[in-house]
C-alpha cells in the first residue's frame, strides 16, 4: 500500500468508518455494563482497552497471509482492525460478559472461539468474539467488524508476558522453553479455577 493510496479519499473513508464503529461499540458496551451493574449490584469488568490496528500492522498481516495489499483486502481479510479487550476478575465473569453482548440487539455475532475451554497449543486462553457493529451513515447503515477478547486478569497477565518473551525469541523456540511457557499457562489456569471457587464461597456468605 503506497503513499498515494493512503492519501486517497477511499482509504480515509474506510478509516473513518472504523473510528465510528469503535466509538459505537464502546458506547453500547458501556450502556450494557451499566445496566448489568444496576440490576446485579456488581460490575464484572476490571478494565477495557480498545484500539484500531495500525496500517503497518494490517499490511504485515495481509502480506503474511499472501494477500495483495489493497483497501478491499484490508476490509475483507483483516478481521481485527477494531480490537476491544475486556479484562475481568473471575472465570464466571467472562461468560457473563459474553451473554451480555449476545443479549444486545445492537450487534450481530459473526463468530466466536472459546480458547478458555479449548486453549491454543501455546497455552493462550481467552474468549474471542467477532461481531458486526452497525454504523448509521447519511443514506445507509453499514456493519463494521470488530474483535472482542474477554479474559481474566490472570489470563491477561500471562498473555502480556508471553508476548514479550516471544517477541525476543527466534521463530524456532527450543522445546524445553516452549514446555516451560506452557506450564506457566497451566498454572494460570489452576489459579483461575481456585479463585473462582473462592468467589463462589464468598457469594454464598454474601447471600446468606
pLDDT of residue 167: 63
At 68-124, the pLDDT tens digits run: 888 888 899 999 999 999 999 999 999 999 999 999 999 999 999 999 999 998 889
At 24-65, the pLDDT tens digits run: 999 999 999 999 999 999 999 999 999 999 888 888 898 889
At 127-145, the pLDDT tens digits run: 999 999 999 998 899 999 9
pLDDT of residue 122: 82
CATH class of 3-207: alpha beta
pLDDT of residue 3: 43
Tell me how far apart the alpha carbons of residues 83 and 146 are, in angstroms, rounded to a whole number.
6
At 152-208, the pLDDT tens digits run: 999 999 888 877 776 666 666 677 877 888 888 999 999 999 999 999 998 887 776
Which grid cell is 162? 508471553
Tell me how far apart the alpha carbons of residues 189 and 126 are, in angstroms, rounded to a whole number.
11
pLDDT of residue 130: 98
Q: What are all long-range contacts of 191-198, with beta carbons under 8 Å and residues at least 24 apart?
A: 191/154, 192/90, 192/91, 192/152, 192/154, 192/155, 193/91, 195/89, 195/90, 195/91, 195/154, 196/90, 196/91, 196/92
Amino acid at each position: 500500500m503506497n503513499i498515494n493510496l493512503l492519501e486517497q479519499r477511499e482509504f480515509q473513508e474506510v478509516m473513518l468508518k472504523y473510528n465510528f464503529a469503535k466509538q459505537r461499540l464502546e458506547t453500547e458496551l458501556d450502556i450494557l455494563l451499566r445496566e448489568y451493574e444496576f440490576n446485579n449490584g456488581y460490575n464484572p469488568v476490571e478494565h477495557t482497552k480498545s484500539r484500531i490496528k495500525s496500517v503497518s500492522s494490517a499490511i504485515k498481516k495481509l502480506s503474511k497471509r499472501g494477500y495483495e495489499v489493497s483497501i478491499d483486502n484490508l476490509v475483507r481479510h483483516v478481521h481485527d482492525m477494531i480490537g476491544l479487550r475486556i479484562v475481568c476478575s473471575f472465570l464466571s465473569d467472562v461468560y457473563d460478559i459474553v451473554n451480555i453482548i449476545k443479549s444486545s440487539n445492537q450487534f450481530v455475532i459473526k463468530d466466536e472461539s472459546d480458547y478458555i475451554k479449548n486453549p491454543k497449543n501455546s497455552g493462550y486462553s481467552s474468549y474471542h468474539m467477532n461481531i458486526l457493529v452497525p454504523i448509521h451513515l447519511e443514506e445507509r447503515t453499514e456493519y463494521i467488524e470488530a474483535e472482542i477478547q474477554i479474559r481474566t486478569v490472570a489470563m491477561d497477565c500471562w498473555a502480556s508476558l508471553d508476548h514479550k518473551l516471544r517477541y525476543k525469541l527466534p521463530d524456532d523456540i527450543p522445546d524445553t522453553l516452549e514446555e516451560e511457557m506452557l506450564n506457566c499457562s497451566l498454572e494460570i489456569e489452576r489459579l483461575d479455577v481456585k479463585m473462582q471457587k473462592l468467589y463462589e464461597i464468598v457469594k454464598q456468605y454474601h447471600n446468606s
